[in-house]
Chain A
């Protein structure tokens, strides 16, 4: 999918162009997946692509549920919110999910926690209108206190105090990653939490295994493996964050399982304003040792 960077209007995508990208990487599996995508006159059929994306995100939600991702996000987010409140901030806190898809994280938080009753506004953003439409439909079905908007999460119209994301940051590479992190540098933003695969040698195999077991769509199966393979290391993430968003103390949360050397499947790039660091440590309590060096 492609969008106009200014209007965010969707742009037509030629199947041939997508195939050429994967041909350059020698990724024949991806080429087979792309070959099977529906097209009209050489242009990928937008409605069918939207259906494919919704289908894939439905399957990803099942994985998120199985791996308790909602509670995982809440454990850390709760600590960050507590740290911000301890600093004296009493106004409504805006939590913004960047690239929310069908909004599983935000919907889980709205349905299973008291955050919205504690003065927290939950909002999800995505560039794909079909996914946002689905997120709003699912949210309305349960009458959840959250909202989903089609657009740029970092636009000036929507000031987020805490930005979160899941499985998004590995899509940004090099200068794109630094630019993504630079956009967090806004006066009102107090913290960011970006959850993503943690790279290690078994990650692509583990990802393939679970995507094969739990998903039906070829795109989801293939992209799941690729995502694990493309995941950024802790060093890459923290270096990019410290250079691009120096107003935050950045580090990695949850790299290892308990006190073992075993890596967690997901780790979290966390950035927080320096005056809040002590408060975060106190708020996390027993989970504070999971926090790596913040600087």
Chain B
């Protein structure tokens, strides 16, 4: 959760800084909104698929619940980086302003790096915990 908050805050700060420094602020806001709307066409179906799979786990069937992992949640984890790249690129592809594209790529870099850093942090914490118990 903390990692997501850090990434979100960093992205927001970047957005505010770029907007502040841009000579075309009104145009930039409109361009960013258009880019975001295009990104939703990729991110919303993915999110719905994930939420839908999780919702199936309400059904009290061990087979169905584990099948949601085998056929949905596991594969969705695997394609998550691809979805991030596809969503951002689709969003910024038709942008009018360079600032929009740079922001998009910067935030994409933040999102992709989050999992890497979280794995490192959690991995290190796990090593400390194991050293305490063994």
A264 to B78, CA, bound (A): 22
Closest Cβ of chain A to B65, distance in Å, is 5
Assuming A47-B134, A55-B130, is B78 touching A206 (CB within 8 A)?
no
Closest Cβ of chain B to A178, distance in Å, is 31
Give chain A interface residues in 47-106, CB to chain B under 8 Å: 47, 50-51, 54-55, 58, 66-68, 71-72, 75
A54 to B134, CA, bound (A): 8
Among B63, B74, B126, B134, the residue within 8 A (CB) of A258 is B63
Q: Is the CB of A54 within 8 A of B130?
A: yes
Q: Is the CB of B63 within 8 A of A264?
A: yes
Which residue of chain A is the closest to B119 with respect to CB atoms? A216
Closest Cβ of chain B to A136, distance in Å, is 11
Interface range on chain A (Cβ under 8 Å from partner): 20 to 34
Chain B interface mostly: helix
Closest Cβ of chain A to B121, distance in Å, is 12
Q: Is the CB of A216 within 8 A of B123?
A: yes
Q: Is the CB of A68 within 8 A of B62?
A: yes
Chain A positions within 8 Å of B67 at CB level: 257
Closest Cβ of chain A to B50, distance in Å, is 14
A218 to B20, CA, bound (A): 47
B131 contacts partner chain A, Cβ-Cβ < 8 Å: yes
Chain B positions within 8 Å of A66 at CB level: 66, 69, 73
B26 contacts partner chain A, Cβ-Cβ < 8 Å: no
Q: Is the CB of A213 within 8 A of B77?
A: yes
Closest Cβ of chain B to A41, distance in Å, is 21
Chain A positions within 8 Å of B127 at CB level: 55
Size of interface on B: residues with Cβ below 8 Å to A: 19
Chain B positions within 8 Å of A50 at CB level: 134
Chain A positions within 8 Å of B74 at CB level: 209-210, 213
A265 contacts partner chain B, Cβ-Cβ < 8 Å: yes
Produce 1/0 per residue, B75-115, CB < 8 A to A.
00110000000000000000000000000000000000000
Chain A positions within 8 Å of B63 at CB level: 257-258, 264
Q: Is the CB of B66 within 8 A of A68?
A: yes
Which residue of chain A is the closest to B60 with respect to CB atoms? A71
A146 to B62, CA, bound (A): 24
Assuming A213-B74, A213-B77, is B134 touching A67 (CB within 8 A)?
no
Among B70, B73, B126, the residue within 8 A (CB) of A206 is B70
B133 contacts partner chain A, Cβ-Cβ < 8 Å: yes
A204 to B46, CA, bound (A): 27
A71 to B59, CA, bound (A): 14
Chain A positions within 8 Å of B62 at CB level: 68, 71-72, 75
Closest Cβ of chain A to B122, distance in Å, is 9
Interface centre among B78, B119, B127, B130 (most CB of A within 10 A): B130
Q: Is the CB of A67 within 8 A of B133?
A: no
Chain B positions within 8 Å of A152 at CB level: none
Which residue of chain B is the closest to A53 with respect to CB atoms? B134
Chain A positions within 8 Å of B66 at CB level: 66-68, 72, 265
Among B65, B78, B119, B133, the residue within 8 A (CB) of A209 is B78
Q: Is the CB of A58 within 8 A of B69?
A: no
A112 contacts partner chain B, Cβ-Cβ < 8 Å: no
Q: Is the CB of B70 within 8 A of A265?
A: yes
Q: Is the CB of A51 within 8 A of B131?
A: yes
A237 contacts partner chain B, Cβ-Cβ < 8 Å: no
Closest Cβ of chain A to B113, distance in Å, is 17
- The residues of B with any CB-CB pair to A shorter than 8 Å are 62-63, 65-67, 69-70, 73-74, 77-78, 119, 123, 126-127, 130-131, 133-134
20 contacts between A and B (CB under 8 A): A51-B134, A54-B134, A55-B130, A58-B126, A58-B130, A66-B69, A67-B66, A68-B66, A71-B62, A72-B66, A130-B134, A134-B133, A134-B134, A137-B133, A206-B70, A213-B78, A216-B119, A216-B123, A257-B63, A264-B63
